[in-house]
Structure 1
Amino acid sequence: MTHTLSRRRMALGTAALLATPFLTGCAAQRGLGGDGRALSVGALFAGKVDDRGFMESGWRGLERARTELGVQTRFIDNIQPRKELLAAELTRLASGGAGLVIAHGGQNNEACAEVAARFPDTKFVVTQGAVTGANLASYDVLQEESAYLGGVLAALTTRTGVVGHMSGIRVRPGLKGRAAYVAGVRATDPKVRVLTNFSGHQDDNALSKRVALAQMAQGADVIFTMLNAGRDGVTQACREKGTRQIGNVIDWVTVDPSVFVASAVADVSIGVYQAVRDVRAGTFPAGQVRKVGLADPQAVRLTMAADVPAAVKARIEQVADDIAKGRRHVPEAYDGPEFATPA
């Protein structure tokens, strides 16, 4: 099997190649782990670290830890999200001397739990995860909370009464995000119809464009996308049809305000960075799931384009405050109809 290291990552020269063992003798004092030894961190990304989305955000958290905390890092990326493949790469990182192994994304839940049990002296983390153990913790940036706000916005701004949702693989964070978005739409205007689709692929632009065009043909004029590299296909379709898009993870409004009416920001880099910082400080939360939501607007928020009416923005701010203060519940499950992926 061939493992791909992004060209940009290689050019930056910020980590050793996968086959190179971690260095342990030259770490700065600030990069020491809680036991006083140099902290080495290995990370697994089941996707491309230059996807301008979820995976890249996690990689940026790893980079921040390397530069700010002085730890040594390496990573494996572009691995298909199949349990046996993920487990093999997590095993490789743990066997290679990592004191902390980070599996970025909830698709790693099962694989990481299994591998962590075989390496009791290594600490493991799943970001956007839901598994725990004696040497295993999860960090969960609650993207479903900003997704709920995206649903409120979609319901308030649609002109056709039909809005869309698109994602790829059925991992728990994506399913929770879909449930929250739909709930936000329905709580705001139950007459608005929601078309929701999981296409099976996060990075296929031809596929995502087909799905987006099919939803638009059914009337969708606002589409919430929870995709990675495959987001570009939706953006192309939006430009062709004049449809607005709600992004996620990063602030897509600043990237392309003519297409993106909003972005359900969930800075998942924080989970990666916080995990390294906790291990380095000797405060690793073994057996726990640490959650970060709208109460921390640097981590979770909805950004909106300048052309969103002031009254709509005020409504969103009130809902966000209600969620942050526990006055409004964000559902995590959806049991309604789904939009078929076009051939």
Structure 2
Amino acid sequence: MKKRFFMVPIILGLLLLTACSSDEAADKKSSKEKNPNKQKQEALKISMVIPGNIKDKGFMESGYNGLMKIKNDLGAKVDYIDKIKPEKQSMTNALEQLAKKQPDMIIMHGGQGSEATESVAKKYPDIQFVVTQGHVKGSNLSSFEVLQEESAYLAGAAAGLLTKSETVGHMSGIRVVPGLKGRAAFADGLKQTNPEAKLLTSFIGDQDDNALSKKYAEAQVEKGADIIFTMLNSGREGVTEVLKAKKLKHIGNVKDYVKEDPQVFIASAVADSGMAGFIAAEKLKNGTYKPNVNEQIGLENSKAVRLSLSPDVPKSVKDKIDNLKKKIESGEIKVKVDYDGPEFKLEK
């Protein structure tokens, strides 16, 4: 009987220890769910969905380069799926495939994946999701947007100051929101520095068709354009070919085309969307990442958004562009993102 009485407090003690351990484990799990920045000993695992070709010389390549920067600069383990159609089901399947591997963060490169990411994020609350160039958010979802309209505005302003024919061209592919905003901003900047200049603006329906972009470039040049601003991917080369042959000037976007081909590119409206994903991953690594936010990245971050100008551009023009940049950063200039003017189409 004495043995039984001695066993009672021992058993009670064990039960209390078990209960405490369970509570502690629950608290740790709850803490992890509430704090996405809880540091791990092992390297971060970052995955990305790229709904396109990583060698498109434009938006998708920028996203891939951003992922490689995450790998090289942050020491993260990275994974990605590319070459899928920008359709909801295809993007959903890709997100699900990556989520099953339980990375710390999954980045959807491009706002076209917003709806798919919202849906999948709800199923995987322990993973942080990010959409670049998007506007969605949730308890484990944020959007990081590079404001390409700010560099596009400066590109328009530069075109207005540099055109000799008083006619400037613009060309984009499909009518997605970033492209429409960029076109509006370019038109706004052009009007700022040269209200009398004529704008020939075209959405040609394809980002990568060089034969088509070449036809539009030839038509715009025939109507007097001596500078053309392109918001294309692989299809930019068709425009470059025409402008080189005519000894006219090109303004690029996304990356610094002035460095690549200063012979034809007078400027480039750098808008490195890959930096959006990198900044999100960097914040996760250093403990400052927050879910449920829409973060915008503009001219204040010159690594992500800036206007690159050729060395041939006069100092007076560079000074004016720098002054406009400061006014955008201070809020004195509000860049327009809606365009209601005429559009240029091929004559049948």
TM range (shorter): 0.7 to 0.9
- What's the CA shift for 1:151? 0.3
- What's the CA shift for 1:80? 2.4
- Please give the alpha-carbon distance, in whole angstroms, between the structure 2 residues aligned to 1:113 and 1:208: 35
Is the aligned partner of 1:262 residue 2:278?
Answer: no
- What's the CA shift for 1:98? 2.7
Is the aligned partner of 1:179 residue 2:184?
Answer: yes
Q: 2:340 aligns with which of 330, 335, 339?
A: 335
- Structure 1 segment 27-176 matched on structure 2, within 5 A: 34-36=38-40, 38-176=43-181
Q: 1:224 to 1:130 in 2, by over 3 A?
A: same
- Please give the alpha-carbon distance, in whole angstroms, between the structure 1 residues aligned to 2:244 and 2:182: 25
- What's the CA shift for 1:40? 1.9
Q: Percent identity?
A: 47
- Structure 1 segment 213-232 matched on structure 2, within 5 A: 213-232=218-237
Let me know the Cα RMSD of the aligned residues.
Answer: 1.9
- Please give the alpha-carbon distance, in whole angstroms, between the structure 2 residues aligned to 1:298 and 1:66: 18
Residue 303 of structure 1: aligned partner: 308
Q: 1:176 to 1:237 in 2, by over 3 A?
A: same
**Deviation string for 1:299-329 (max 9, x for gaps)?**
2211111221221111111111111111111
Q: 1:193 aligns with which of 189, 198, 213?
A: 198
Structure 1 residues not aligned, in runs of 5+: 1-31
Is the aligned partner of 1:293 residue 2:298?
Answer: yes
Asked if structure 2 preserves the Cα contact closer than 8 Å seen for 1:34 and 1:281, the reply is no
Asked if structure 1 preserves the Cα contact closer than 8 Å seen for 2:257 and 2:268, the reply is yes
Asked if structure 2 preserves the Cα contact closer than 8 Å seen for 1:205 and 1:232, the reply is yes
**Deviation string for 1:89-147 (max 9, x for gaps)?**
22222233333111112222222223223332221111122111111111111111110
**Deviation string for 1:187-219 (max 9, x for gaps)?**
222221112222222222222212222222222
SS in 1 for 2:339: coil
Asked if structure 1 preserves the Cα contact closer than 8 Å seen for 2:158 and 2:321, the reply is yes
- What's the CA shift for 1:265? 1.1
Q: 1:107 to 1:243 in 2, by over 3 A?
A: farther
Asked if structure 2 preserves the Cα contact closer than 8 Å seen for 1:44 and 1:90, the reply is yes
Asked if structure 2 preserves the Cα contact closer than 8 Å seen for 1:106 and 1:129, the reply is yes
Residue 239 of structure 2: aligned partner: 234
Q: 2:289 aligns with which of 284, 288, 308?
A: 284
Q: 1:212 to 1:83 in 2, by over 3 A?
A: farther
AA aligned opposite 2:306: R
Q: 1:164 to 1:132 in 2, by over 3 A?
A: same
Count of equivalent residues: 312
Q: 1:117 to 1:337 in 2, by over 3 A?
A: farther
Asked if structure 2 preserves the Cα contact closer than 8 Å seen for 1:205 and 1:230, the reply is yes
- Please give the alpha-carbon distance, in whole angstroms, between the structure 2 residues aligned to 1:34 and 1:211: 52
SS in 2 for 1:301: strand
Q: 1:222 to 1:328 in 2, by over 3 A?
A: same
SS in 1 for 2:57: coil
Q: 1:248 aligns with which of 239, 249, 253?
A: 253
- Please give the alpha-carbon distance, in whole angstroms, between the structure 1 residues aligned to 2:232 and 2:336: 21
The structure with the greater share of residues assigned to helix is 2
Asked if structure 2 preserves the Cα contact closer than 8 Å seen for 1:210 and 1:342, the reply is no
Q: Which has the larger radius of gyration?
A: 2
Structure 2 residues not aligned, in runs of 5+: 1-35
AA aligned opposite 1:314: D
Asked if structure 1 preserves the Cα contact closer than 8 Å seen for 2:268 and 2:308, the reply is yes
AA aligned opposite 1:34: K
Q: 1:252 to 1:342 in 2, by over 3 A?
A: farther
- Please give the alpha-carbon distance, in whole angstroms, between the structure 1 residues aligned to 2:228 and 2:158: 11
Asked if structure 1 preserves the Cα contact closer than 8 Å seen for 2:172 and 2:230, the reply is yes
Comparing 272-281 with 310-319, which one deviates more in the overlay?
Answer: 272-281
Comparing 50-59 with 238-247, which one deviates more in the overlay?
Answer: 50-59
Residue 275 of structure 1: aligned partner: 280
- What's the CA shift for 1:33? 6.3
TM-score of the superposed pair, with normalisation by structure 2: 0.84
